[in-house]
Structures are given as structure tokens and as C-alpha cells.
Amino acid sequence: MPLTGHLKELRNRIVVCVLVWLVAFLAMLSNAAKLVSFFLSMGEKAGYRFIYISPQELLLEYFQTAFVFALVAAMPVILFEIWAFAAPGLTKKEKVGFLLVIIFGAIFAALGVFFAYKVMMPFMLQFLSSLDAGTGIEASLSVQNYVSFLLSIFIIFAVVFELPVVSCALTVLGILKTAWLKKGRKVMIVAIFFVAAVITPPDVTSQVMVAIPMIVLFEISVVLCSLIEKISKKSPVEAA
């Protein structure tokens, strides 16, 4: 296919992704108030009271929530379009590998969001709300700050849980070696705490709560990469 043909195909696939996202956005926007109310109920259980300090703040949060959830809803189509565009230029083995990365990437991202929802957020909200005990200070949070905080935590954990998938993909490609991971374990732990401090709110608890899962995922990555290397050594080299 000539370059113009590739560009036309790319344009068509981008149009499909945008249209699917737009439909999902309109659907999510009609339910945005329920989603925001659900988020607020999580905070209310921890003892927070919510306010909005500008006339358009609540509306903007509806749009922000609808945007993020529409992107999540459209992600299967977006990932399929990426795979379909790249597939013609890949070998059979590369197609399978690329498809597995997409599938397991989506699974691990979902696990990250689930972990954040069931474990991370309840603990953080309860802990942070307990800091005003005995001070006479009542927590009245801006809806915008609170919802943005929740969405950022969900996104952070969705990305963090991709560590094993990325590590395995790089190992299969021969870019990453298990020996490097084992040798640099101490450096990686320090780097993980640094990254956790950067991507989380400025409190030690949030940093530790993000760093611990990242360390566990790093250790899982070491084990998986080691298994991949052992399987690769036992398997015969296939011609492209």
C-alpha cells in the first residue's frame, strides 16, 4: 500500500475512534450527575462535606467525569483500531504478541482501577479525614478538587499496574534483561518512592500506599521476565 493509502486508513481509523468516543461521551454526560454523586458518597462515608465555589464548577466536573469515563468505554474500540492498523505490517508471531499486550494491558489497567477503588481510596479518605480529629476543624471540600483527586488516583493506578505488561513486552523484544532488573533492584525501589512522591498528593501516606503496590508489581515483573527468558532459551528460534 502506498503512503497515501496508509494515511487514508489512519485517518479513517482515527475518525472511527473519535465518533465512538463522542457517542460514549454523550451517553456518559447524561449519567455524569449519578457518577459524581457516587464519588461524593465515598467521601461522605469518610466524614467529608462538599461545596462548590464557582457557578460552573459542578458542570465542569460533569464534563470532566464524562470525558474520562467515555475514554474508558471507547478504549476497546481504540485498542482494536490500533491493532488493526499495525497488524498488516507484522508477522504472525508479532501479531499475537501485540494482541496479548493489548489484552493484558487492559486487564491490568482494570485491576489497577479496582485496587484503587476497593483498597486505596477508602484507606486514604479515612486516614486524611482523621487528621482533623481534635482540632475543631471541619473538612469542607471543593467538588472540583475532590473529583479531580479521585480521577487522578484511578488513572495513576491504571498506569502503575501496566508495569508487568511493559516489562514482559520489553523482555520478549530483547530490550530488557532480567539480570538488569535484579541488579538494579535497590535503585528501582528508590526510584519507585521518588515517582510515588511526584504523582501523589503531598503526604507520606499516599506516597507509601502507591509505592508498595509498585514494588510488588516490580517483583512480579522480575518473576515473569525470568520465566519468559527461560521459555525463550528452551524454545527453538523461529525464522521470521
- Tell me the average pLDDT across 7-14: 88
Rounded Cα gap, residues 13 and 39, in angstroms: 34
> Which pLDDT does position 34 carry in this prediction?
92
Task: Say whether 50 sits in a helix, a strand or coil.
Answer: strand
**Is the pLDDT assigned to residue 19 strictly greater than 80?**
yes
> Which pLDDT does position 236 carry in this prediction?
52
Rounded Cα gap, residues 139 and 131, in angstroms: 10
The confidence band for 240, taking pLDDT boundaries of 50, 70 and 90, is very low
CA–chain centroid gap for 179, Å, is 27
Global pTM?
0.79
**110 contact partners, CB below 8 Å, separation of at least 6:** 158
**Is the pLDDT assigned to residue 62 strictly greater than 90?**
yes
pLDDT in tens, 174-201: 788 888 888 888 888 888 888 888 776 6
> Which pLDDT does position 239 carry in this prediction?
42
Who has greater pLDDT, 39 or 238? Answer: 39
Burial class (CB in 10 A: 0-12, 13-18, 19+), 150: buried
φ, ψ at 239 (rounded to 5°):
-75, 145
Rounded Cα gap, residues 73 and 66, in angstroms: 10
Burial class (CB in 10 A: 0-12, 13-18, 19+), 63: middle
The confidence band for 15, taking pLDDT boundaries of 50, 70 and 90, is very high
Residue 89 cell numbers, joined: 505490517
**What does the longest C-alpha to C-alpha distance in the chain come to?**
72
- Tell me the average pLDDT across 136-152: 84
> Which pLDDT does position 238 carry in this prediction?
47
Rounded Cα gap, residues 132 and 46, in angstroms: 12
Residue 196 cell numbers, joined: 510515588
Query: Looking up cell 488516583, which residue turns up?
Result: 153
- Tell me the average pLDDT across 87-110: 82
Rounded Cα gap, residues 12 and 3, in angstroms: 14
Contact by Cβ (8 Å): 32, 63: yes
E strands, 8-112, in order = 49-51
- Tell me the average pLDDT across 68-94: 84
Q: Which amino acid is at 135?
A: T
**Is the pLDDT assigned to residue 138 strictly greater than 80?**
no
> Which pLDDT does position 23 carry in this prediction?
95
- Tell me the average pLDDT across 198-215: 78
Residue 233 cell numbers, joined: 532459551
- Mean pLDDT over the full length of the chain: 84
Query: Looking up cell 493484558, which residue turns up?
Result: 104
